[in-house]
């Protein structure tokens, strides 16, 4: 699997994503600077977590205007699997690849802890190695993960099976309908607040993120 991790100014989970991708797929991803206009020919694009542009203006707002994003949007629209984690999810909503927005956490504080998620849709290239309704534990670490969309959009997203992950008993940010991650209608773009790349290594006290990278590797290699 050939993959690219986009590095924005103050991305800070770029190395973590690259490490998980390399450990599981066996291939080092391309690290692509946000200011570049060209994206290598890859099977997977990852927008990593972090604080691109210091979260100034709005989380992900400025990064969504970076030169590389024109190409990311074009590839994603053409079907290249694209994964946005945390700040990457925020960038995906800001650039319009995913519906809705991520607002400040309902509790107003940054929150970092492991949360339980339910896998809602296993019919995507990202989630096919999970079983339906499987419960997984993955850490969150964010200040703005409160997913919001208007009722009509939420109804559509739910109806089309675009909800990929939902918080179960502990919604850390007040997101609408406990949504933790969604896909686009074509299901090749996934954005989620939790960090699967932090639980993809046996030494780190959890492997619940690994099936996502394994599924991508199997499908895209």
* Nearest distance, CB of residue 7 and another protein, angstroms: 9
Q: Which residues of 172-202 are buried (b: 16+ CB within 10 A; e: fewer)?
A: bbbbbebbbbbbbeebbbbbbbbbbbbbbbe
| Short-list 75, 91, 39, 70, CA closest to 188 | 75
Total number of residues that touch another protein (CB under 8 A) = 32
144 binds another protein (CB under 8 A): no
User: Contact with another protein (CB under 8 A): which of 1, 5, 20, 97?
Assistant: 20
- Is residue 13 near another protein by the rule CB under 8 A? yes
Is 197 part of the annotated catalytic residue set? yes
Residue 132 contacts another protein per CB under 8 A: no
Rg for the chain (alpha carbons), in Å?
A: 15
Q: Return the number of the residue (25 or 80) whose C-beta is nearest another protein.
A: 25
* 195 a catalytic residue: yes
197 near another protein, judged by CB under 8 A: yes
In terms of DSSP H, where are the helices of 127-209? 151-159
DSSP 8-state symbol, 14: H
Question: Please, which residue, 6 or 76, has the CB nearer to another protein?
Answer: 6
Catalytic positions are 86, 195, 197
């Amino acid at each position: 699997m050939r993959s690219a991790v986009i590095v924005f100014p103050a991305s800070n989970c770029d190395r973590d994503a690259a490490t998980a991708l390399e450990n599981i797929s066996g291939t080092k991803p391309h690290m692509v600077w946000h200011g570049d206009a060209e994206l290598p020919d890859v099977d997977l694009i990852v927008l990593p977590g972090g604080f691109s542009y210091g979260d100034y203006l709005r989380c992900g707002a400025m990064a969504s205007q970076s030169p590389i994003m024109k190409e990311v949007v074009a590839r994603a629209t053409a079907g290249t699997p694209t994964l946005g984690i945390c700040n990457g999810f925020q960038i995906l909503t800001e650039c319009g690849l995913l519906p809705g927005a991520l607002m400040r956490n309902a509790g107003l504080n940054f929150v970092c802890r492991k949360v339980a998620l339910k896998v809602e849709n296993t019919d995507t290239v990202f989630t096919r190695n999970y079983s339906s309704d499987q419960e997984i534990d993955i850490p969150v670490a964010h200040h703005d993960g409160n997913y919001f969309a208007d009722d009509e959009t939420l109804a559509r997203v739910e109806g089309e099976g675009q909800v990929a992950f939902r918080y179960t008993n502990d919604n850390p940010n007040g997101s609408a309908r406990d949504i933790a991650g969604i896909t686009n209608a074509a299901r090749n773009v996934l954005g989620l607040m939790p960090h699967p790349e932090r639980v993809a290594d046996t030494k780190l006290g959890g492997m619940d993120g690994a099936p996502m990278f394994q599924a991508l590797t199997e499908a895209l290699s």
